[in-house]
Chain A
Amino acid sequence: MSINKTNHTINNHGFVTLIWPLMGLAAILLFNLFFTPNFFHIEIKDSHLYGSLIDILNRAAPVILISIGMTLVIATAGIDISVGSVIAISGAIAASLIAKTGAPLLVVVTVPLLISMILGAWNGFLVSAIGVQPIIASLILMVAGRGIAQLITDGQIVTFENKAFEYIGNGFLFGIPFTITIIALVFGVTQTLTRKTALGLFIESVGCNPTASRFSGISVRSIKQVVYIFSGFCAGVAGLIAAANIKGADSNNAGDGLELDAILAVVIGGNSLDGGKFSLTGSLIGALIIQSLTTTILTRGVPVEVTRVVKALVVVAVFLAQSETFRNSIRAKFRRRTP
Chain B
Amino acid sequence: MKIKIDRKYIPVIATFLVALLLYCGVGIRYPGFMTFRVFVNFFIDNAYLGIAAIGMTFVILSGGIDLSVGSMVAFTGVLTAFLIEKQGLHPLMAIVISLGCGSLIGYVMGCLIHYFKSAPFIVTLTGMFFCRGLANLISLESIPIYNPVFKSFVRLAVELPGRIKIPAIVFIFLLVFIAAIYIAHFTKFGRNVYALGGSSQSALLMGLPVGRTRIAVYALSGFLSALAGVVFTMYTSAGYGLSGLGMEMEAIASVVIGGTLLTGGVGYVAGTLVGVLIQAIIQTFITFDGTLSSWWTKIAIGLLLLIFILLQRFISQASRISKPTETVNI
The stretch of A63-71, A157-165, A315-323 in contact with B is: A315-323
B116, B296, B305: which contacts A320 (Cβ < 8 A)?
Answer: B116
The stretch of A43-51, A128-136, A214-222, A277-285 in contact with B is: A128-136
CB-nearest residue of chain A relative to B127? A312
The interface residues of chain B lying within 8 Å CB-to-CB of A310 are 133
CB distance from A131 to the nearest CB of B (A): 6
Bound Cα distance from A273 to B305, whole angstroms: 25
A140, A308, A309, A315: which contacts B305 (Cβ < 8 A)?
Answer: A140
CB distance from A329 to the nearest CB of B (A): 9
Contact A132–B129 (Cβ < 8 Å): no
Contact B140–A130 (Cβ < 8 Å): no
CB distance from B297 to the nearest CB of A (A): 7
A79, A133, A147, A319: which contacts B118 (Cβ < 8 A)?
Answer: A319
The stretch of B22-30, B83-91, B176-184, B306-314 in contact with A is: B306-314
Q: How many residues of A contact B (CB 8 A)?
A: 44
Contact A140–B133 (Cβ < 8 Å): no
Chain B 112-144 near chain A by CB (<8 Å), digits 1 or 0: 100111110111011111101110110010000
CB distance from B42 to the nearest CB of A (A): 20
Instruction: Kindly state whether residue A143 has any CB partner on chain B within 8 Å.
Output: yes
The interface residues of chain A lying within 8 Å CB-to-CB of B122 are 263, 267, 273, 315, 319
Instruction: Kindly state whether residue A306 has any CB partner on chain B within 8 Å.
Output: yes
Bound Cα distance from A313 to B129, whole angstroms: 9
Instruction: Kindly state whether residue A150 has any CB partner on chain B within 8 Å.
Output: yes
Chain A 176-211 near chain B by CB (<8 Å), digits 1 or 0: 000000000000000000000000000000000000
CB-nearest residue of chain B relative to A141? B302
Instruction: Kindly state whether residue A326 has any CB partner on chain B within 8 Å.
Output: yes
List B284-301 residues whose CB lies under 8 Å from chain A: 293-299, 301
The interface residues of chain B lying within 8 Å CB-to-CB of A144 are 298-299, 301-303, 305-306
Instruction: Kindly state whether residue A139 has any CB partner on chain B within 8 Å.
Output: yes
Chain B 231-262 near chain A by CB (<8 Å), digits 1 or 0: 00000000001000010010011001000001
Bound Cα distance from A323 to B133, whole angstroms: 25
Contact B133–A309 (Cβ < 8 Å): yes
List A309-339 residues whose CB lies under 8 Å from chain B: 309-313, 315-316, 319-320, 323-326
Contact A155–B128 (Cβ < 8 Å): no
Sort chain B's interface into a size bin: 35 or more
Instruction: Kindly state whether residue A307 has any CB partner on chain B within 8 Å.
Output: yes
Bound Cα distance from A144 to B123, whole angstroms: 25
Given the known interface contacts A260-B128, A273-B122, A312-B127, the answer about A143 and B249 at a Cβ–Cβ threshold of 8 Å is: yes
Instruction: Kindly state whether residue B65 has any CB partner on chain A within 8 Å.
Output: yes
B65, B140, B262, B303: which contacts A305 (Cβ < 8 A)?
Answer: B140
List A70-128 residues whose CB lies under 8 Å from chain B: 79
Given the known interface contacts A130-B310, A306-B133, A325-B115, the answer about A316 and B126 at a Cβ–Cβ threshold of 8 Å is: yes
CB-nearest residue of chain B relative to A4? B117
CB distance from A127 to the nearest CB of B (A): 11
CB distance from A155 to the nearest CB of B (A): 6
Bound Cα distance from A140 to B297, whole angstroms: 13
Contact B295–A316 (Cβ < 8 Å): no
Contact A260–B116 (Cβ < 8 Å): no
Contact A319–B137 (Cβ < 8 Å): no
The interface residues of chain B lying within 8 Å CB-to-CB of A139 are 249, 252, 305
The interface residues of chain B lying within 8 Å CB-to-CB of A226 are none
Contact A130–B295 (Cβ < 8 Å): no
Contact B119–A142 (Cβ < 8 Å): no
- Could you name 30 residue pairs across A and B whose Cβ atoms are closer than 8 Å? A79-B121, A130-B310, A132-B309, A132-B310, A132-B313, A136-B262, A140-B309, A142-B249, A143-B253, A143-B298, A144-B301, A144-B302, A147-B298, A151-B293, A151-B295, A151-B299, A154-B293, A155-B293, A260-B128, A305-B137, A305-B140, A306-B137, A308-B129, A310-B133, A311-B133, A312-B126, A312-B127, A315-B129, A320-B116, A323-B118
A interface, CB within 8 angstroms of B = 79, 130-133, 135-137, 139-148, 150-151, 154-155, 260, 263, 267, 273, 303, 305-313, 315-316, 319-320, 323-326
B interface, CB within 8 angstroms of A = 65, 112, 115-119, 121-123, 125-130, 132-134, 136-137, 140, 241, 246, 249, 252-253, 256, 262-263, 293-299, 301-303, 305-306, 309-310, 313, 317
Which 9 A-B pairs give the minimum distances between C-beta atoms?
Answer: A144-B302, A305-B136, A147-B298, A308-B133, A309-B133, A312-B130, A150-B295, A147-B299, A323-B116
